[in-house]
Amino acid sequence: MVNAERLKSTFLDLVRIDSHSREEGEVARYIQNRLTALGLEATMDEAGAKIGGNCGNLFVRLQGPLAGKVEPILFCSHMDTVVPGKGVKPVEVDGVFRSSGDTILGADDKSGIAAILELVQVLKENDKSYGEIELLFTVAEEIGLVGARHFDTAQLKSRHAYFLDSEFVTSIGVGAPSAYRMTYRIHGLEAHAGMAPERGISAIRVAAQAINAMPLGRIDFETTANIGSIEGGAATNIIPKLVTLRGEARSHNPQKLEAQAEAMRRAFDQAVENSAVTIDGERVQARLEEERNLEYQAFRVAENSLTYRLAAEAGADLGLKMEPEISGGGSDANIFNAKGIESVVLGTGMMEPHTVKEFLRFEDMLNATRLIVNMVYRLR
């Protein structure tokens, strides 16, 4: 039932459309046009205006003959891509898609969009009965799951959701961590680096001492942490007065997450305390500002749940040995689970996403599409 050539054509169309976060408008129009041609109306919410983007989340509902008789389900993919994602020139060799090498491919997450659009085509072309299917295409997932946060889930009938936004087609993402995003600003004291360095406090040095003292990387099997960027300083002959650091902490265990965040803060506090100097008889030390935001909450979906079993059994029908996966990353599924919509993540075959080495085996995307089609028809 799945038309492989049409699926491939859709995917190639999508990856050639630029859609960095907050710039998804052209992809949204492509999706709307495809759905309109099939007699469906996709509504757009106000998320774009709220986040400074050029479009909002797209939502559409299909009413099959079995609507009201079987469980409605939701399929979702995000429309944005990471940088560098403009001017993608896809290349196919032996059934594997890559970019020309200077951009990402954009299979994250346009392979998911292509699979969902092909699902709709299949449902419209075949007379097999199906129930109520809801589709969602979100914006700004790559910059903090922003579109999903602004989507009003009260309009959903589905209590089971599937996010096509992962790598391996045989994996079902049943768990993901909570994550804090932190910004630290260290205020030092400016002075001439050659003439009076003892009258300054280097914000960069304080930051370095803090980073050296804090636990980072793989903390344990449930917890990770990272300082990902540092900005500061004006010139080599000026003791830097301000440094801004951005980092994160993730854990599947909320107590461990809090402990890790506090350990990072303590390292900064101690480095600030150790920065104290006496200038003109007055004790002076650096100052710390911290912003800590819970970006998303952990979730864990049981393997005996309908949400899991539907995907696992549909895969088994196709000869795919589906396995549960616990992820170290977040997705829109984190947001929806927190809002009470039981959600798992399905793979489409995207590999090495967020890099210019990203690639996709077409056979994997084809199997992912067959999987979600079979899931729909399995609901009886």
Q: What positions carry a catalytic annotation?
A: 80, 141
Residue 185 CB neighbours (<10 A): 17
Q: How far apart are CA 119 and CA 112, in angstroms?
A: 11
Distance of CA 46 to the CA centre of its chain: 20
Cis omega before residue 353 (within 30°)?
A: no
> What's the chain's length in residues?
380
DSSP secondary structure string for all residues of 58-117: EEEEEE-TTBTTB--EEEEEE--B-SS-SS---EEETTEEE--SSS---HHHHHHHHHHH
Let me know: does 379 contact 66? Beta carbons within 8 Å: yes
3-state secondary structure of 224: strand
Count Cα atoms within 13 angstroms, Cβ side, for 293. Answer: 6
Let me know: does 120 contact 38? Beta carbons within 8 Å: yes
Residue at 274: amino acid letter: N
Phi, psi of 360 (to 5 degrees): -145, 125
Let me know: does 46 contact 55? Beta carbons within 8 Å: no
